Amino acid sequence: SFSKLRPRDDLVGSTKGVASGALSFMSIFDTTTNVIKQGGKRRGANMGILRYDHPEIVDFISSKDSANTILSNFNISVGMDSDFFERLDRDDYVELKNPRTGAVEKKMKAADLWNMIIDHAWKTGDPGLIFLDEINAHNTVKNLGDIESTNPCGEQPLLPYESCNLGSINLARFVKEGKIDHERLKEVIWLSVRFLDDVIDANLFPVEQIEKVSRTTRKIGLGVMGFADALVQMGIPYASTQALKTAEDIMSFLQDESHAASEALAKERGVFPGWKGSYWESIRKDMRNSTTTTIAPTGTISIIAGCSSSIEPLFALAFVRHVLDGQELLEVNPYLEKNLKDLGLYSEKLMLKIAQTGNLSDTALPDDLKKLYLTAQEIDYKWHVLMQAAFQNYCDSGVSKTINLPNAATRDDIAMAYRLARDLHCKGITVYRDGSKSQQVLYMGTKEKKPEDAKQVNQELIISAPEKLLKVDSTYDPACTSGSCTL
């Protein structure tokens, strides 16, 4: 969070000069990220959050308009609270205050600020929103301070110097006879909680403060991926009340069992050091970890695991993935391929037709199959937000999800999505309108190319794990600069 930095041109008493402002410091972080990278192989990523009432908020909102932005390694989100929305609803003004002095430097209509946020999100996918009051209402360690920021994709609210410790279970591997195998899932949840707790002690922390705070709160974030794959195996359309109910059933089970596993670890190893004065002490519950659940975007690990990412719908049933040295792979959804073969409908000609759009809309396939295999951009934004909220209802931390929108989506669609996320008590939201960035990692279909020019592969592990790791290292975009990532 850059919200506590004094605004540009604020007087610096010690030098009698003026401050360069919050955005100038963001550019330093961005440049440093470029220089350091991650082991020289992967780009780093940052989340930049500025409260709506900071004097530089207008410049912040428009800071990623250009493809050559100085903030290419940043996701940006506006920090919001209930006061803003109350002012918006009564058509009132927002006071932009100097964080150093508390003085009001300017007033602007809340509606003007809101429209600016919506317009830029429509044009570029940035900024998203972070609901700081919602985050702190569920802060389990308020005794240690308020939370002001998150990790780069927004799913993990963090205190200063805390770190992410996340893991995700591939739900596609837990479907048995058309249902979730809860017995096996419970076993993996308990094992995963122990594993993630071990990571805290085994890890070599780069900074002493990070080690101290991470060991004090012992936050872990166990989540899921392969959710869309699991739904397909169970015959449940993503855009349905049955899918929402399934999401709540799975996440509540994960929440309950991860809490139980952390309680068991507390008996074995002791409570987390920051337990006294925490939420857990107030309800007399011994916990080894201050949080246990998080829904991460799983952009990299879902590729390696050969499953759909996080809780997202299927992005496309056939799509082009740009990989090492400009190579292009045409990936085909394995569940669709199997379904078509089982129904006697599979053909190479049909797969090439599907690849042109990435979905089944232009095919003569049965309507129930089309409904089951709706892709992210075919699904109305309201279902996207409802699904995020369904998982958030049973999640200690946050949920990283992209609200995918077709290119034809309007600014009103984005405004409604943002308001719906707020009303449903999500902790943040990010939208992405297809084509709103000059480049993106995933494309729907191959209409601009001949499908036969791309090598067809199955989404399963036909590419070996080492090869996948090599490709991921060369193409992964953790800062979501190309629009492939989320909050």
Question: Which residues are known catalytic residues?
Answer: 151, 153, 155
425: its two tokens: 């008590």
CA distance 44 to 37: 5
Backbone dihedral angles phi then psi of residue 75, each to the nearest 5 degrees: -90, 145
Q: For residue 429, how far is the Cα from the chain centroid?
A: 8
Inter-residue contact 429 to 385 (CB < 8 Å): yes
Strand partners, 482: none
Q: Nearest 5°: CA angle at 39, between 160 and 2?
A: 30
Phi and psi at 135, nearest 5°, equal -60, -50
Instruction: Measure the CA dihedral 344/347/349/354, to 10°.
Output: 70
How far apart (Å, rounded) are the C-alpha atoms in residues 47 and 149?
8
Q: Which residues of 398-407 are buried (b: 16+ CB within 10 A; e: fewer)?
A: bbbbbbbbee
Residue 301 to residues 69, 110, 307, 460, 465, Cα–Cα distance (Å): 28, 40, 9, 13, 11
Which residues lie closer than 8 Å to 437 by C-beta, 6 or more apart? 67, 124, 125, 481, 482, 483
Q: Give the whole-angstrom CA distance, residue 352 versus residue 342.
A: 19
Beta pairing, strands 328-332 & 402-405: unpaired
Taking only Cα atoms into account, the Rg of the chain, rounded to an integer number of angstroms, comes to 23
Virtual CA dihedral for 76, 77, 78, 82, nearest 10 degrees? -170
Calculate the CA dihedral of residues 248, 253, 256, 261 and round it to 10 degrees. -150
Residue the block writes with tokens 């429509």 = 122
Nearest-5° angle of CA 450, CA 453, CA 456? 110
Nearest to 51 by CA among 147, 148, 136, 126: 148
Spatial CB neighbours of 256, under 8 Å, sequence gap ≥ 6: none
- Residue pair 186/174 in contact by the 8 Å Cβ criterion: no
